[in-house]
Amino acid sequence: MRRGWLGRLLGAGLALAALMSGSQASAADGPRLYYHVFVRSFADSNGDRIGDLPGVAAHLDYLAKLHVTHILLTPMQASPFYHNYFATDFDAVDEAYGGEAGCLAFVRAAHARHMKVILDEEFQYVAEGHPWWRANEGRPGRPEGRFVLWNDPAAQKRPEPFLNAPKYRTHDGRMVGIAMVDLHRNEVREWFERMLLRRVDPHGDGSLTDGVDGFRIDHMMDDLDGKGRMTDLFRRFWKPLITSLRAVRPDLEFIAEPSDWGDGRDHMRRGGATAVFDFPLRAAIVRLDAGALRRAVSAARLDPPGTHRLSFIENHDVDRFASLMDSDPAKLRIGATLGLMLGSDPILYYGQELGMRGVEEKDHSSDGAQIPLREAFRWQADLEAPGSAIWYTSDASWWTGRVNRTGDGVSVEEEAASATSLLAFYRSLLDLRAQRPELWRGHVVMGCEHQRSAVCFSRRLGRRWTFVVANLSDKPVTVSTQMNERRAATDLLEGGKVSTRTIIVPPWGLRLVGDKAR
């Protein structure tokens, strides 16, 4: 393995320390479950209505009850945008979230609960006001000014924009420029390697107690924005950066969001990512398409060895699943089951387990169009109760037209008291997954190929097995359980024995049948 300049600089000592103290036993030895937190919207700890890291830390017990092992945090770097994706300082933690001290304290608290922390990173662009941007404004020639692409090097004016717009409107009405970073420069890659290393080993002593455990790479691509200006990035930027950092800490995780929302296999094979988001599987679940589900599962078997996929049905960029399903309880349960049971490493988007709703606005004149996908997590029935991160309160449409409302039944307070709520269903599924290793480590065998209106699969690990069938239609279906009749079987959702090889599943029904626990 190529050690890179970081490995040569730090030697083997830090790598050894990483192996000894950088991994959490529960995440490595048991079922992994990722939980995706939009920091600004999760929980407010100080009364300013802005979600922050102390707020997330205060609710680690809630996440532990869901068997969460990895927490993915949206970007926290200083930025003029509410989502923090385009930075004016890559190294700084937004003070509204708790600053650098708050970040270290949160990682320490998560590690104490045997949870790993993954940071979302976007450093393919800078926002207007970043030092690299300012180095080109009236002061051409400064070395860091070369880190940003400029259309007219002689005039040192017009920066190469993000996509095709030189400036973007923030949700509060400001116009802010976004420019592409010159990722072909070795000094740029080395700068980001140093920056990421500081997140992994913030004290520079190899202890890693307060260091994060991996990174999500936003919109990872080989040709930046498809402009033909910044090509061959897998080979020239991503693979060298990831290889150098993993030489220092071998268990460091790099999760790619494929820029085309495709299968992401090239991002792992050529780009060095250790994991990708499974967009084909998500598309099949959202369409409730049995054929597409079978194809997505089959295609995933072609992934490079040592990589894995995150199965999901929601994230911060797509419409909430509950909105797509019109909050239909049966469809929400089918989506939960397929998302949690078909892959080995599922990821939940905050509030998904409650059935939170939200649809992207059609008016994209500002970055506020996606606020409906990122509304405050519903801890209490009262949306405006203390602790609720309603930072987006205003006279704008994303507040006046919000879909999550006080007393709508979609909150932890309301659902925790009901045995039939969606939260109770998620908790039961996740408890079952923790108890039955075949559901996260077992081989997936698709069945019911002749059925167009149902999806069936079994998960097998040694002598243990679970059979799952979801009826994706408004008519009953009859399917074979494919079970071994010599072994006792149990209906894992309803309880009781199952003695027949065929079962009738009602419209939009769901059955989980497994070998009787011994």
Please state the rounded mean pLDDT for residues 215-241.
96
The count of domains in the chain is 2
Residue 446 is assigned to a structural domain of this protein: yes
Please state the rounded mean pLDDT for residues 122-142.
82
| pLDDT tens-digit readout, 274-323 | 999 999 999 999 999 999 999 999 999 999 999 999 999 999 999 999 99
Please state the rounded mean pLDDT for residues 497-504.
79
| pLDDT tens-digit readout, 6-22 | 443 344 333 333 333 33
Please state the rounded mean pLDDT for residues 245-256.
95
Kindly report the CATH number assigned to the domain that includes residue 476.
2.60.40.1180
| pLDDT tens-digit readout, 413-462 | 999 999 999 999 999 999 999 999 999 999 999 988 888 899 999 999 99
Please state the rounded mean pLDDT for residues 69-95.
97
Closest CA to 510 of 355, 326, 347, 338: 338
pLDDT score for 114: 96
Domain that includes residue 448, residue range: 442-515
Write the DSSP assignment of 262-282 as a string of letters. Answer: S--HHHHHTT--SEEE-HHHH
Check: pTM over 0.95? Answer yes or no.
no
Closest CA to 123 of 150, 158, 162, 157: 162
pLDDT higher at 517 or 261: 261
Contacts of 154 (CB under 8 A, 6+ apart): none
Q: Select from 149, 180, 211 the last residue of a domain.
A: 180
For residue 292, the tally of other CB atoms under 10 A from its CB is 17
Asked if residue 118 lies in contact with residue 34, where contact means CB atoms within 8 angstroms, the answer is yes
Please state the rounded mean pLDDT for residues 495-517.
85
Closest CA to 69 of 443, 322, 433, 411: 433
C-alpha span between 449 and 460 (Å, rounded): 18
Residue 415 is assigned to a structural domain of this protein: no
The DSSP element (H or E) to which 133 belongs, if any, is helix 131-134
Residue 258 is assigned to a structural domain of this protein: no
Residue 41 is assigned to a structural domain of this protein: no
Percentage of residues of the chain with pLDDT beyond 90: 78
C-alpha span between 320 and 388 (Å, rounded): 19
Residue 453 is assigned to a structural domain of this protein: yes
Instruction: Please report which confidence band the pLDDT of residue 148 belongs to, taking 50, 70 and 90 as the band edges.
Output: confident
Residue 487 is assigned to a structural domain of this protein: yes
Residue 71 is assigned to a structural domain of this protein: no
Residue 461 is assigned to a structural domain of this protein: yes
pLDDT score for 104: 96
Alpha helices per DSSP H over 364-482: 397-400, 412-415, 422-435, 438-441
pLDDT score for 152: 65
The alpha carbon torsion through 384, 385, 386, 390 (nearest 10 deg) reads: -30
**How do strand 497-498 and strand 489-491 relate by DSSP bridges?**
antiparallel
